[in-house]
Amino acid sequence: MTNYRSRLVAVFFALLATLSMGVTAAEAVTATSASPAVAAQNACGNLSGFGHTTLSALPAEATTTYNLIQKGGPFPYPQNDGVVFDNREGILPSCASGYYHEYTVPTPGSSNRGTRRIVTGSGGEYFYTGDHYATFKVIDISGGGTTHACGDLSGLTKIGYSQLSAAAKKVVDNVRGGATSSTTYENREGVLPACASGYYKLFNVGTNDRVISGKAGELAYTPDHYVTFKRIDLNS
């Protein structure tokens, strides 16, 4: 009888030990899975691990912003463009304060700066974020940023004539009919291809939108007072 009780006690303690080990192991697994891996931040100038893109693969406004960066402006948001980007998210390589600067890539139709930016590094790096600093891609500048010849609007996003407002269509029709009630557009923003002074003519549409015509017959439309431009396609 005593031996039987001893065996029961031994089995009981063995079960307790097994359960205890199981709980400990489960806690260890849970603790491990609950601790996310923290990606190490690259050293300054180290672009390994980043996705790459080209200007030609990004929205047309990115090329416009890049060209303005090369010229030193004027920028659509002078209070915000060219300011130091502090890299608080820790996604870009870790560099000294003041190494990075950011520039707005305008979003057509947006009433504010939107979520698109180009961030430059003092070492010649260019990064693009389309989601307000959540993710970044390295811009391979050799793959875009071509300066278009005078009269070539192929670098602009297209807008069909049928998509224009009635007022804008009327202005376009008048321009094509030889309207002369215009002023010279000097292209100070540098968004349109560089041409000789007096090449572009400006026609008002509404409060902020304009139609720009070139001497070669090309037509551009800006809906936001020269922040962005679109090439008018008369056949669509």
Task: Evaluate whether residue 55 is within a structural domain.
Answer: yes
Do 210 and 163 lie in one domain? The reply is yes
Task: Evaluate whether residue 20 is within a structural domain.
Answer: no
Tens digits of residue pLDDT in 38-84: 457 888 888 888 999 988 889 999 999 998 988 888 999 999 999 99
Q: CATH no. for residue 199?
A: 3.10.450.30
Tell me the pTM. Answer: 0.50
What rounded mean pLDDT belongs to the chain? 83
Q: Is 217 left (phi over 0), alpha (psi -120 to 50) or beta?
A: left
Do 183 and 118 lie in one domain? The reply is no
Residue of 61, 102, 189, 218 with catalytic role: 102
User: Residue 33: which pLDDT band, with cuts at 50, 70 and 90?
Assistant: very low
For residue 141, what pLDDT is reported?
Answer: 80
CB 117 within 8 A of CB 104: yes
Residue of 52, 89, 132, 225 with catalytic role: 132
Do 121 and 184 lie in one domain? The reply is no
pLDDT of 32 > 60? The answer is: no
The encoded tokens of residue 202 equal 């400006």
Structural domain ending residue among the three candidates 79, 109, 143 = 143
132 in catalytic set? yes
Do 136 and 177 lie in one domain? The reply is no
Tens digits of residue pLDDT in 172-181: 999 999 987 7
Range of lowest pLDDT (26-30, 129-133, 147-151): 26-30
User: Which residues face 11 on adjacent strands?
Assistant: none
Task: Evaluate whether residue 22 is within a structural domain.
Answer: no
Do 215 and 170 lie in one domain? The reply is yes
Do 105 and 177 lie in one domain? The reply is no
Range of the domain at 227: 157-233
148 in catalytic set? no
Q: What is the mean pLDDT of residues 106-135?
A: 93
pLDDT of 28 > 50? The answer is: no
Do 55 and 135 lie in one domain? The reply is yes
Range of lowest pLDDT (9-13, 112-116, 228-232): 9-13
Task: Evaluate whether residue 205 is within a structural domain.
Answer: yes
User: Residue 5: which pLDDT band, with cuts at 50, 70 and 90?
Assistant: low
Structural domain ending residue among the three candidates 143, 171, 191 = 143
Mark out the alpha helices in the chain (DSSP H runs): 2-34, 60-71, 166-176
Tens digits of residue pLDDT in 144-158: 445 567 888 887 889
Task: Evaluate whether residue 3 is within a structural domain.
Answer: no
Do 110 and 186 lie in one domain? The reply is no
Task: Evaluate whether residue 149 is within a structural domain.
Answer: no
Percent of the chain having pLDDT more than 70?
A: 80
Q: What's the structural domain count of the chain?
A: 2
Report the candidate in 189, 231, 228, 190 with the shortest Cα–Cα distance to residue 105.
Answer: 228
CB 102 within 8 A of CB 85: yes
Task: Evaluate whether residue 223 is within a structural domain.
Answer: yes
Do 126 and 183 lie in one domain? The reply is no
Task: Evaluate whether residue 222 is within a structural domain.
Answer: yes
